[in-house]
């Protein structure tokens, strides 16, 4: 790379300027050759000739009566996309304009400019067209007056307004006014035209490294890095993000471990679970893991004993007060809002505040009752047509291995569902300004659905937390991003459950058990397709997202002072744990630490029960969700303790009773007979990890196979009535297609430069062929 720096526009000499201008044809030809062109597609070189020769000659000051049409606009937009930063949906938006309107608006704008010399006013008129922002508008105006009007290109803005650095651009009228002013000053000083300034800036920013020191090495053709400067292509086609590792996720080829050996009796208990279902080792006693976990616990406590002990004592003082509060409130602790009211700022803010505090909420009537009921009937027909999906027992309520029924596809793409997900995800914030995450563009996670017929069977009869178990303590799991750093440092009050940047690099499924979720879910969710009364079969939650999380994470380090586990005897049994008088005993840091992570075993969900977690008082802190009606959307934080027990078992009993009247042998979906159905619809933001997963899930959808987290196989590939891409489009239009990874995001819709980078990154992962133009 040359040692000379980028010449300043304020001091560049005429000879330097002219030398750079002469180098433009060679620079453009090299870039055009590297990009190539698909069959029937014009090369960048031919488009460039149209932009700088044909179009100015046809529409310039010498031909004031010639009007520009839609085809001319599309040719210039194609040049803009190939010459600079690619916008996946820009051409589609531009092409959707009415041809007559295009001609009339451009004629009006050019006339305004020529009569009043008011470029800002002309741009305002041009931006009335769909897909035409200030940057593209300046291009249309520039071909009408190439001497005075400069095109708002990234390269021109970088050079003239950012001293050659690639700073974020908002593409606003204000920025263009600054660019135009600086371009005119330079053009006047050197006696050149605006179009010349534009091309010189392009050379300075794009010329190969052997000529210019400020030009970065060009990524391989087809790499999104050309458009975003953020994603690199590695051998084998794998992609990784560059920049600050703390702000990005790890790629999909993450380190995996095999489940560690556990005692035979425990393995026998585990072997009874079914593939793809919620995995349970359900047992009241603690389970000793391998010595590696002892070392892990020692590393988390060593040198920090005083702070951890103080934090634990504060938590034990605070927790009973919170439990008293939620227990007295019962179901009223769970906030609810009608979907239509979410547009009311006052009501929306009140609900979101309560949601932030409780970690769980209900959005009523997200879809009309009739629509939800119809989806339930559609599901029944889908199950009937494809008998292999029927549950083993008519009363069994385990999740069905069905992912692509018409009702599920319609629900995931429904505009109201996407709006509701965007609404609730808005409470998540990032302390890292460059974190690659946006909640404004929800993505689909194709989970299953549950139908319960009659009054018995199924469910998960224990309180648990999804999203892994031992991973929460492991450095390669949640420790990778420091998700629970404050808790493990003895500052549980500072832990923010709604901080998103500390979850982007998380690996929550180190042990790759079927049914484990490998993406970032900001909320888990149910969409009710029938009435779901509180009680057996519904869900109960512990609405204490900060306190309960801190408790079950710190619990493995502490024990009652009278328990043998708190002594220094190496042979002390880890299974002795006094719980009946938890609040009357002094709890101290266990010395030495053992390998127990209470309720956590590799490959299984984090379980909680009164024996292992006495201070949580699950019989009081688990409160029933209020009755859900068809079309209601229940959401809860991914770390929230919850239970979907089919019965009010002794281990996790609540004080709630149900008004449901059982009808022996009834297999209907009627709530009065104990039957109901709902879909699992989590709310997921757009991130790198989620985009990588979406690419694999899209393939599964097209083939009719289960999602990547659910074990593969033939799935529904031969099922009757399985929907396709057109069904997604019919249900949700462009937004529904984007949520499924079937259509690129429009980067122009981004609110910030950081969000624009996320969209560009996701487009590069899901639609790499689009970047062949660059």
What domain range is 82 assigned to? 14-218
Q: In what order do the strands lie in the sheet with 336-338?
A: 336-338, 360-364, 633-636, 524-528, 676-680, 449-452, 399-400
- Whole-number pLDDT of residue 652: 37
- Whole-number pLDDT of residue 331: 96
Look up the pTM and report it.
0.68
Instruction: Indicate the helix (H) or strand (E) that contains 524.
Output: strand 524-528
Residues 424 and 547 reside in one and the same domain? yes
Q: Is 190 helix (H, G, I), strand (E, B) or coil?
A: helix
Q: Which residue has the higher pLDDT, 577 or 451?
A: 451
- Whole-number pLDDT of residue 262: 46
- Whole-number pLDDT of residue 281: 53
Strands 437-443 and 360-364: unpaired
Whether 72 and 93 have beta carbons less than 8 Å apart is answered as no
Whether 535 and 719 have beta carbons less than 8 Å apart is answered as no
CA 580, CA 451: separation in Å to the nearest integer?
A: 37
- Whole-number pLDDT of residue 255: 38
675-711 pLDDT, tens per residue? 789 999 999 999 999 999 999 999 999 999 999 998 7
Most confidently predicted of 4-8, 46-50, 390-394:
46-50
Instruction: Tell me which DSSP letter residue 236 carries.
Output: G
Least confident of 164-168, 241-245, 299-303: 241-245
Q: Is 707 helix (H, G, I), strand (E, B) or coil?
A: coil
CA 19, CA 14: separation in Å to the nearest integer?
A: 9
Identify whether 313 is part of a domain: yes
139-149 pLDDT, tens per residue? 999 999 999 99
Kindly list the distances between the CA atom of residue 379 and the CA atoms of 265, 312, 722, 753, in Å, as whole numbers in the listed order. 40, 48, 11, 42
Q: Is 523 helix (H, G, I), strand (E, B) or coil?
A: strand
- Whole-number pLDDT of residue 397: 54
Identify whether 354 is part of a domain: yes
- Whole-number pLDDT of residue 630: 97
Neighbours of 10 (CB within 10 A): 11
- Of the chain, the percentage scoring pLDDT greater than 70 comes to 79
CA 674, CA 665: separation in Å to the nearest integer?
A: 10
Strands 336-338 and 360-364: parallel
Residues 191 and 339 reside in one and the same domain? no
CA 497, CA 113: separation in Å to the nearest integer?
A: 54
207-216 pLDDT, tens per residue? 854 344 333 3
Determine the average pLDDT of the residues in 61-88. Answer: 89
Which structure tokens are listed for 262?
A: 């556990």
- Whole-number pLDDT of residue 651: 36
Whether 694 and 738 have beta carbons less than 8 Å apart is answered as no
Q: Contacts from 266-269 at CB under 8 Å and sequence distance 24+?
A: 266/601
Whether 748 and 731 have beta carbons less than 8 Å apart is answered as no
Residues 208 and 281 reside in one and the same domain? no
- Whole-number pLDDT of residue 258: 40
Paired residues of 465 in beta bridges: 606
* Domain of residue 352, CATH code: 2.60.120.330
Identify whether 436 is part of a domain: no
Q: Which residue has the higher pLDDT, 767 or 170?
A: 767
Determine the average pLDDT of the residues in 81-104. Answer: 86
Identify whether 210 is part of a domain: yes
Whether 445 and 707 have beta carbons less than 8 Å apart is answered as yes
Instruction: Tell me which DSSP letter residue 54 carries.
Output: I
CA 398, CA 200: separation in Å to the nearest integer?
A: 66
Identify whether 275 is part of a domain: yes
The domain boundary residue, chosen from 624, 659, 684: 684
Identify whether 643 is part of a domain: yes
Residues 156 and 270 reside in one and the same domain? no
CB crowding 403-428: b at 16 or more within 10 Å, else e: bbbbbbbbbbbbebbbbbbbbbbebb
Determine the average pLDDT of the residues in 585-603. Answer: 93
Q: Is 52 helix (H, G, I), strand (E, B) or coil?
A: helix
CA 476, CA 123: separation in Å to the nearest integer?
A: 52
- Whole-number pLDDT of residue 310: 97
- Of the chain, the percentage scoring pLDDT greater than 90 comes to 64
| Extended beta strands in 538-669, E state | 540-541, 558-560, 587-589, 606-608, 623-624, 633-636, 642-644
Residues 193 and 317 reside in one and the same domain? no
Determine the average pLDDT of the residues in 251-266. Answer: 40
Least confident of 268-277, 556-565, 604-613: 268-277
Q: Is the dihedral of CA 523, 524, 527, 530 positive or negative?
A: negative
pLDDT at 476 over 70: yes
The overall average pLDDT reported for the chain is: 82
Which structure tokens are listed for 64?
A: 């004031």
Burial status of residue 375 (CB atoms within 10 A of its CB: 0-12, 13-18, 19 or more):
buried
pLDDT at 302 over 70: yes
Neighbours of 554 (CB within 10 A): 22
CA 620, CA 744: separation in Å to the nearest integer?
A: 47
Nearest to 52 by CA among 142, 157, 173: 142
Q: pLDDT band at residue 84, thresholds of 50, 70 and 90? A: confident
CA 561, CA 586: separation in Å to the nearest integer?
A: 6
Kindly list the distances between the CA atom of residue 481 and the CA atoms of 11, 78, 199, 245, 707, in Å, as whole numbers in the listed order. 46, 41, 44, 9, 26
pLDDT at 226 over 90: no
Q: Is 437 helix (H, G, I), strand (E, B) or coil?
A: strand
642-682 pLDDT, tens per residue? 998 554 333 333 333 333 333 333 334 555 445 789 999 99
pLDDT at 63 over 60: yes
Residues 287 and 158 reside in one and the same domain? no
Residues 6+ apart with CB under 8 A from 187: 148, 193, 194, 196, 197
Nearest to 164 by CA among 314, 297, 391, 6: 6
Whether 76 and 137 have beta carbons less than 8 Å apart is answered as no
Identify whether 767 is part of a domain: no
27-53 pLDDT, tens per residue? 999 888 877 777 788 899 999 999 999
Kindly list the distances between the CA atom of residue 696 and the CA atoms of 276, 705, 708, 741, in Å, as whole numbers in the listed order. 18, 11, 7, 10
CA 144 to chain centre: 43
Nearest to 589 by CA among 298, 367, 330: 298
3-state secondary structure 726-770: HHHHHHHHHHHHHHCCCCCCCHHHCCCHHHHHHHHHHHHHHCHHH
CA 85, CA 773: separation in Å to the nearest integer?
A: 10
| Extended beta strands in 224-265, E state | 231-233, 239-241
| Extended beta strands in 648-731, E state | 676-680, 684-687
Q: Which residue has the higher pLDDT, 238 or 675?
A: 675
Burial status of residue 690 (CB atoms within 10 A of its CB: 0-12, 13-18, 19 or more):
buried
Residues 214 and 275 reside in one and the same domain? no
Nearest to 515 by CA among 477, 469, 455, 476: 469
Q: What is the DSSP string of 259-279?
A: PPP--HHHHHHHTTS-TTSPP
Identify whether 322 is part of a domain: yes
Give me the number of domains the chain comprises: 2
Which structure tokens are listed for 114?
A: 């020529």
Residues 347 and 490 reside in one and the same domain? yes
Residues 631 and 490 reside in one and the same domain? yes
Determine the average pLDDT of the residues in 432-460. Answer: 81
The domain boundary residue, chosen from 660, 684, 708: 684
- Whole-number pLDDT of residue 269: 43
Neighbours of 342 (CB within 10 A): 21
The domain boundary residue, chosen from 684, 700, 725: 684
Is-cis flag, bond preceding 579, omega within 30?
no
- Distance in angstroms between the alpha carbons of the first and the last residue of the chain: 23
Q: pLDDT band at residue 376, thresholds of 50, 70 and 90? A: very high
pLDDT at 382 over 50: yes
pLDDT at 254 over 90: no
Nearest to 149 by CA among 162, 135, 159, 161: 135
Q: pLDDT band at residue 583, thresholds of 50, 70 and 90? A: low
């Amino acid at each position: 790379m040359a040692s000379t720096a980028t010449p300043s526009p304020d001091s560049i000499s005429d000879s330097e300027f002219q030398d750079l201008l002469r180098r433009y044809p060679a620079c453009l030809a090299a870039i055009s050759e590297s990009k190539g062109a698909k069959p029937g597609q014009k090369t960048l070189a031919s488009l460039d000739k149209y932009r700088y020769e044909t179009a100015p000659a046809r529409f310039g000051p010498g031909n004031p009566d010639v009007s520009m049409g839609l085809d001319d606009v599309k040719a210039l937009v194609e040049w803009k996309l190939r010459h600079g930063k690619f916008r996946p949906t820009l051409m589609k938006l531009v092409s959707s304009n009415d041809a007559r309107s295009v001609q009339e608006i451009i004629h009006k704008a050019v006339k305004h400019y020529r009569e009043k010399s008011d470029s800002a006013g002309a741009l305002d008129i041009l931006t009335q067209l769909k897909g035409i922002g200030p940057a593209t508008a300046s291009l249309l105006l520039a071909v009408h007056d190439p001497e005075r009007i400069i095109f708002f290109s990234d390269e021109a803005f970088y050079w003239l307004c950012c001293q050659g650095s690639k700073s974020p651009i908002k593409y606003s009228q204000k920025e263009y006014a600054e660019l135009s002013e600086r371009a005119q000053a330079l053009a006047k000083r050197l006696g050149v035209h605006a179009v010349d300034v534009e091309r010189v800036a392009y050379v300075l920013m794009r010329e190969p490294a052997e000529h210019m020191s400020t030009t970065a090495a060009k990524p391989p053709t087809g790499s999104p890095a050309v458009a975003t400067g953020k994603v690199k292509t590695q051998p084998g086609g794998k992609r990784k993000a560059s920049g600050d590792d703390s702000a990005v996720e790890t790629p999909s080829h993450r380190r995996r471990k095999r489940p560690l050996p556990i005692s035979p009796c425990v393995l026998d208990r585990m072997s009874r679970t079914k593939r793809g279902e919620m995995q349970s080792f359900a047992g009241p006693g603690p389970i000793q893991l391998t010595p590696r976990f002892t070392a892990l616990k020692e590393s988390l406590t060593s040198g920090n004993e005083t702070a951890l002990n103080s934090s634990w004592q504060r938590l034990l003082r605070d927790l009973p007060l919170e439990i008293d509060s939620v227990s007295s409130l019962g179901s009223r602790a769970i906030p609810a809002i009608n979907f239509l009211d979410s547009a009311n700022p006052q009501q929306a803010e009140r609900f979101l505040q309560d949601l932030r505090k409780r970690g769980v909420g209900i959005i009523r009537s997200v879809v009309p009752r009739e629509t939800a009921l119809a989806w339930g009937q559609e599901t029944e027909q889908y199950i009937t047509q494809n008998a292999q999906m029927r549950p083993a027992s008519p009363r069994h309520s385990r999740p069905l291995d069905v992912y692509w029924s018409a009702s599920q596809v319609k629900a995931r793409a429904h505009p109201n569902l996407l709006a509701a997900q965007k609404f609730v995800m808005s409470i998540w914030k990032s302390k890292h300004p460059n974190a690659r995450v946006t909640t404004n563009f929800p993505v689909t996670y194709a989970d299953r659905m549950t139908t319960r017929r009659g009054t018995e069977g199924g469910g998960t009869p224990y309180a648990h937390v999804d999203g892994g178990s031992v991973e929460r303590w492991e450095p390669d799991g949640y420790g990778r991003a420091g998700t629970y750093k404050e808790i493990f440092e003895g500052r549980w009050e500072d832990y923010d459950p709604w901080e998103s940047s500390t979850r982007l690099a998380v690996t929550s499924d180190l042990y790759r058990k079927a049914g484990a979720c490998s993406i970032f879910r900001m909320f888990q969710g149910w969409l009710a397709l029938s009435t779901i009364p509180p009680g057996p079969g519904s869900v109960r939650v512990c609405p204490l997202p900060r306190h309960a999380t801190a408790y079950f994470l710190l619990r493995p380090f502490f024990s009652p002072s009278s328990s043998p586990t708190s002594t220094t005897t190496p042979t002390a049994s880890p299974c002795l744990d006094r719980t009946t008088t938890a609040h009357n005993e002094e709890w101290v840091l266990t010395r030495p630490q053992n390998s127990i992570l209470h309720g956590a075993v590799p490959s299984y969900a984090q379980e909680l029960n009164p024996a292992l977690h006495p201070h949580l008082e699950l019989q009081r802190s688990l409160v029933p969700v209020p009755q859900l009606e068809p079309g209601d959307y229940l959401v809860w934080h991914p770390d929230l303790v919850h239970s979907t027990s089919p019965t009010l078992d002794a281990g996790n009993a609540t004080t709630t009773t149900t008004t449901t009247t059982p009808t022996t042998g009834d297999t209907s979906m009627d709530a009065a007979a104990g039957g109901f159905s709902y879909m699992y619809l989590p709310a997921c933001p757009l991130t790198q990890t989620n985009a990588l997963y979406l690419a694999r899930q899209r393939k599964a959808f097209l083939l009719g196979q289960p999602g990547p987290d659910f074990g593969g196989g033939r799935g529904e590939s031969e099922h009757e009535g399985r929907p396709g891409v057109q069904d997604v489009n019919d249900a949700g239009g462009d937004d529904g297609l984007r949520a499924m990874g079937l259509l690129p995001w429009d980067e122009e819709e981004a609110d910030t430069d950081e969000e624009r980078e996320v969209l560009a990154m996701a487009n590069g992962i899901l639609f790499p062929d689009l970047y062949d133009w660059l």
